[in-house]
Amino acid sequence: MTAAATGAPATTAQQGAHTRRMLAVLWTILLIFPLIAPNNYIINLAVFFFINLILIASLNLVMGYCGQISLCHGAFFGLGAYASGVLAAKFGVSPWLGAVVAMGMTGFSALVIGLPALRLRGHYLAMATLGFNAIMTVLFNEMISLTGGPNGLTGVPPFSLFGFDIATDTTFFYFAWVVAGALMLLIYNLIDSRFGRGMRTLATSEIAASSLGIDTFRYKLIVFVASAVMAGVAGSMYVHFINFASPETFSFFTSVFLVVMVALGGWGNYWGPVFGALIYTAVPELLRAFKDLEIFVFGLSMVLVLLFFPDGVAGAIKLAKGRILHACAPKAGEAGR
């Protein structure tokens, strides 16, 4: 009998195998999604789900697994989008090369910001990252010759492969399916590694992590840079999908919403970003007719989650699953009959 059936706790190896199976099942189901989607609008939303998933999963590494507060993920998202978009639209650079440059620029920016900022803690770190987000927002608006300023960057070409443009909702869906799946697998392998166990120890207590010989600053810096690079990937995908970039898309509010989605999905939970990305993609569309209510709904959701489900949607589901398995497990007296 399995550990779940007997009520015994699963081993780390069993949990790892179960997570990989769940990821494979989910991605297999998503593979056929365009075939059953009622229209292109739903497929379009699915593409944004993948982009949002990359953003929230990468931020979850910093906030959920390392316990560091970052309010500049929207800036990294925007830097990736503008770096790749400007190179392609203004200088005729291949979008693929532009995406690589975008990854390098976001990673280097995170390194420059992280070296001083990650020596700070708590709200001091939050303010430092917020300052970087503010600076990038000003640059996106003021570098009109490159970014188009408030009017936005136009004429961004799509990705192309073997002479075929990855431009339709369906073709880009499969492209995003591959990229998001690869990054989700990469993230799982990271958090399941020795480095990942060090991250979780760091999130619990920096003092305890240091006493175990963990170089806490090095760990935080590596994760911060890796998270920014993933945000750069999402930004490059975004700009070459909609062929346009606007500064308001990468504002301070974007960074705040991403933090909220990490919390709603579940801090430090591998599946949390899936739920967070689903909420972040679906709720604005449902509230499109009530635009002024969007911030109110997200804010109210955040308060309710922190009060009643501090581990987010993923944590609540895990708790409910545990209670159901416990209720269904045979009692000790019954097991011997």
pLDDT tens-place string over residues 225-247 = 999 999 999 999 999 999 999 99
CATH of domain 14-322: 1.10.3470
Summarised one tens digit per residue, pLDDT across range 291-321 is 677 778 777 877 887 788 888 889 888 888 8
Write out pLDDT tens, residues 14-67.
Answer: 777 888 899 999 999 999 999 999 999 999 999 999 999 999 999 999 999 999
Lowest mean pLDDT segment, chosen from 57-71, 82-96, 276-290: 276-290
Q: Which two tokens stand for residue 172?
A: 């880009």
| pTM more than 0.85 | yes
> pLDDT at residue 68 above 80?
yes
Tell me: pLDDT of 335 over 80.
no
Contact yes or no for 35/211 (Cβ under 8 A): no
Q: Rounded distance, CA 11 to CA 212, Å?
A: 23
Element (H, E) at 166: strand 164-166
Question: What is the residue whose two structure tokens read 């979780």?
Answer: 200
Residue 88, pLDDT above cutoff 60: yes
Bigger pLDDT: 328 vs 291: 328
